[in-house]
Structure formats: C-alpha cells, structure tokens
Amino acid sequence: MASLPPDFQQLKQDQLTPFLHDEIAVPDELQANVLITTVDKIYNWSRRSSMWPLLFGLACCAIEMIATAASRYDLARFGMEVMRPSPRQSDLMIVSGTVTKKMVPAIVRIYNQMAEPRYVLSMGACATGGGPFKEGYNVVSGIDKYIPVDVYVPGCPPTPEALIYGLLKMHEKVDRQSVTSVPWYRKDTSQFVPVPRLGPDVFDPRQVDLIKDTTLKAAAATTAAAANGASAGATEHARGPAQLSDKAIARMEEAKRRWREKKGLPE
C-alpha cells in the first residue's frame, strides 16, 4: 500500500495508471471504440467542425464566398455549409466586402447579436483596410476599426482557395483555445461594442470626447477648415459601452414601475 501521494500530479498519475496499464477490463465489443483525449481537444474539434457562418454578403467578395460554398470548392467538407441568416445561430461572421459608413451600424449591431463564441473573418482588401476604395467619403477603412477581427484574408477578391486557407487558419486558432481560459465562460468579459451612429459623418460613441474637443476647438479658433486638420498624435481613449440617455433610462424606469404595479409588488 503506497503512502499518500506527495502532490496532486502524483495522485493524477496514480489514478491514470489502471487505465494506462489495462488493469480495467473493457468489454470486448468496446475494445476498439474507446478513445482517451482531453476536454479541450474534443471541445475545439466539435466547435471547429461545425462552425456555421453568417449568411451575410456585403459586396464582390460575397460572390466568391458563394462560389466557395458551391459544388466546386464545397465548404461542406469543413462542416460550414450551413449558412445561417440569423446572427443568433451563427458562429462566424465573414465580412465579405466593402464596409460603408451607412452599413457599419448594422454590422456592429449584428456582431453584438451573435452569441459567444463568435469569430470574425475579414475577407478581402476592403474589409481589411478599405482596399481600393479607402479614400472614399462613405467607406470605412477596415472593419477592425469597429469590431475585433480574428483572421484577415487578403485579395481583391480572394479566390475561393484563399478563403479556404483563411478558414483553416481560423480552425487552427480555435484549436489553440482552452476551455479553461476562453473569455465567454468568465464573468465581466462581455464584448459588447457600442454601435456607431450616423451624424454629419459616422461617429463612434467611444470617441465622442475626442471629436468634441476637436470640433469645438476648431469652431473656437474660427478656422474654416474641416476638423481633420487637428494636431496629430492626440491619444485615443476608449470609453467602454455607450452611456444610455436620460430619456431611455426614464423609459426603462417607467416600464419597471408598470410591471411592479401589474404584479402587485411594492415600489
């Protein structure tokens, strides 16, 4: 009888020994069917083998995305043929095409609606950095200005082979994750992205202070130039989720009050 193991590793080893040395009798009919693996491996394998993309096309790249899903390139080989139009049911957002200022609020909203674990693949030059249209007045120079991106696929548009390579890189990334450290099982790690708003130009709620400084300073200096002439190198401050307006808070309070009243609960 062995004494108490000195540490946890030893205990684990001792517990594994009977399995490793065939001391436990496995029934004959199951002999060839039992595999031992780690939780991470099986968790990641199942996730990446059924990673459903969002059915979401923006521009030219969407056509190549469709071609990738069609018979010749056959995305079904990777368990990805089920494209879901609903963000709630999909795991992967392929940003396939030019992101415009008019569209970006919708994209961020869709991203926020996707359930964790979620991934973003930026397909093509436009989604990655604005591409040939970068200078355009209605073009966002890259979706990563607003939402985090996992894999970038260059090309204009990327060929289906390139997209498949990007998807395989995404699989590799999934394979490296561990169930013990992934953010979506932890508290306070929600990655809610404030939805950009359409003003005189699109603006990010996280940058309101920065924009206000510049525009008001420009007005004060009575320069006729547009606000983009401000001094370079000003630091950018992420401000976290957007504050709700007083109106919205009042509306929610009112709804709560009505609900309490209906249920007969005390104020």
Partner 1 sequence: MSQATVVAEAPADELDLGPELADAVEGAWAEDTEKTYVIAPDRILDVLRHLRDVQGYDFLSNLTCVDYKGYGGKLRADVDARLEIVYNLYNTRRGGGSIGLHVRVPEDETVPSATSLYAGANLQEREVYDLFGVKFEGHPNLRRILLWDGFNGHPMRKDWQEAYFEEDVKPFRSRHPKGEYAFHEDKIPWAKNTTYPAGWDPDSWQEPVAYVPVSQAPHHENEPHLDTESIVVNLGPHHPSTHGVFRMLTRVEGETILALEPEMGYLHRNHEKIGERNTWLMNMPFTDRLDYLNSMSNNWSYALAVEKLAGIEVPERAEYLRVIMAEFTRIVNHTWSIGFILNDLGALQTPALYAIEEREMILDLFEAVSGARMMCNYMRFGGVVRDLPEGWHEQAAYLANERLPRALDELDTLLTENEILKARGRGVGYLPVEDLIALSVSGPMIRAGGLAYDIRKAEPYGIYDRFDFDVPTLPNSDIYDRYYIRLLEAMESVRILQQALRDIPEGETLGGRGGYTLRAPEGEVYSRIEAPKGELGFYLASDGKVAPWRYHVRSPSYINLNALGPMSIGYKVADAIVILGAIDIVLGEVDR
Q: Smallest distance from the beta carbon of 42 to partner 1, in angstroms?
A: 31
**99-158 residues near partner 1, rule: CB under 8 A:** 100-103, 106-107, 110, 130, 132-141, 145, 156-157
Q: Structure tokens of 259? A: 């609900």
Window of 3-11, 12-20, 59-67, 163-171 that interacts with partner 1 by CB under 8 A = 59-67
β-bridge mates for residue 121, sequence order: 94, 151
Burial label, 21 (beta-carbon count in 10 A; 0-12, 13-18, 19+) = exposed
Q: Smallest distance from the beta carbon of 198 to partner 1, in angstroms?
A: 5
* β-pair type (119-123, 151-153): parallel
* Per CB under 8 A, 195 contacts partner 1: no
Rounded-to-integer distance, Cα 157 and Cα 143, Å: 16
Site residue total, partner 1 (CB under 8 A) = 68
Indicate the residue among 159 and 177 with the shorter CB distance to partner 1. Answer: 159
Q: Structure tokens of 32? A: 């060839």
* Per CB under 8 A, 177 contacts partner 1: no
Rounded-to-integer distance, Cα 145 and Cα 129, Å: 9
Indicate the residue among 72 and 186 with the shorter CB distance to partner 1. Answer: 72
Neighbours of 222 (CB within 10 A): 6
Rounded-to-integer distance, Cα 189 and Cα 62, Å: 31
Under the rule (CB under 8 A), what is the footprint of partner 1?
Answer: 55-60, 62-64, 66-67, 70-72, 85, 97-98, 100-103, 106-107, 110, 130, 132-141, 145, 156-157, 159, 197-204, 207-208, 210-212, 214-216, 218-219, 223-228, 230-232, 234, 236
